[in-house]
């Protein structure tokens, strides 16, 4: 597809903020991916086409893990189009099982490197972008691989509609400080909590199994919320 090829040539090399690991996948997850993913999947290498024909506000969750939050917010907002991106197959299978169980039909899945895909999307497309608990890459030499960097923050800002919301969360204090510094310095983004920096947990953010485990270990969680300026 020539348009896609030109877009990819013009973009920077993708930020590899993840490592594909051989995670455990259940038989049910394997079947769900094999039998149902094609009906829910969006092609990350095709020119953008809105699955809902521009009739719904669009939400994107980057790195949805086991899909627990994405499935919940899709049920909370049945009039929205909810797109989830995840590279790990067990998480994709888990999300599919939840969607099938509840009959939720307003979700589409990018099972690919989301950064390369994002670079091809039109401006002011998304009403809400959510990034929860991205890999913290805690070692000093690894931190260049963290997802939240100035270039990526600028890309997310470009994709938001004016007034659109960017939500992030992490349970790593130094990553939270980096996120805060990067996002506060991103032109076009406004912190919704300028007095304190960090935000209260958004109403839509359920306590996932991952977060509950962190709480048991005594981890604090830092929420950040921004809006794209008009």
Catalytic residue at 135? yes
Beta carbons of 81 and 153 less than 8 angstroms apart: no
**Residue 22, pLDDT score:** 56
Crossing angle for the helix pair 173-184 and 150-159, to the nearest 10 degrees: 60
Q: pLDDT tens, 53-80?
A: 999 999 999 999 999 999 999 999 999 9
Q: Annotated binding residues for S-adenosyl-L-methionine, as ranges?
A: 61, 86, 113, 135
Residue 128 has pLDDT above 80, yes or no: yes
**Number of CB atoms found within 10 A of residue 33's CB:** 22
Please give the full DSSP string across 47-59, using - where no structure is assigned. ----TTTT-S-EE
**Residue 55, pLDDT score:** 96
Domain spanning 2-11+29-228: CATH superfamily: Vaccinia Virus protein VP39 (3.40.50.150)
Location of structure tokens 């939500």? 167
pTM given for the model: 0.89
The pair of three-digit structure tokens given for residue 102, joined into one six-digit string: 């509840």
Q: pLDDT tens, 1-53?
A: 343 334 334 444 444 544 455 568 999 999 999 999 999 999 999 999 999 99
If phi > 0 it is left, if psi is from -120 to 50 it is alpha, else beta; for residue 141 that is alpha
Q: Among 50, 135, 174, 203, which one carries the catalytic annotation?
A: 135
Q: Annotated binding residues, as ranges?
A: 61, 86, 113, 135, 139, 171, 208-211
Q: Which has the closest alpha carbon to 183: 194, 172, 173?
A: 194
From CA 9, how far away is CA 11, in angstroms rounded?
6
């Amino acid at each position: 597809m020539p348009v896609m090829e030109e877009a990819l040539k013009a973009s920077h090399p993708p930020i590899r903020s993840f490592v594909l690991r051989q995670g455990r996948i259940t038989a049910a997850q394997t079947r769900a991916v094999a039998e149902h993913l094609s009906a829910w999947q969006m092609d990350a290498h095709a020119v953008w086409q809105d699955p809902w024909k521009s009739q719904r506000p669009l939400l994107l969750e980057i790195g949805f893990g086991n899909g627990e939050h994405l499935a919940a917010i899709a049920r909370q907002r049945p009039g929205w189009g909810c797109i989830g991106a995840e590279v790990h197959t067990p998480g994709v299978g888990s999300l599919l099982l939840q969607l099938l169980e509840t009959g939720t039909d307003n979700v589409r899945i990018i099972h690919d490197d989301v950064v390369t895909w994002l670079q091809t999307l039109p401006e002011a497309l998304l009403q809400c972008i959510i990034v929860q608990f991205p890999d913290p890459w805690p070692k000093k030499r690894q931190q260049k691989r963290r997802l939240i960097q100035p270039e990526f923050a600028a890309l997310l800002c470009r994709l938001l509609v004016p007034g659109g919301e960017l939500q992030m969360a992490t349970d790593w204090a130094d990553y939270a400080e980096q996120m805060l510094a990067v996002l506060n310095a991103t032109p076009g983004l406004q912190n919704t909590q300028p007095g304190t920096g960090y935000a209260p947990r958004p109403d839509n953010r359920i306590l996932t199994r991952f977060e509950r485990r962190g709480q048991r270990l005594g981890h604090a969680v830092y929420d950040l919320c921004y809006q794209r300026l008009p």
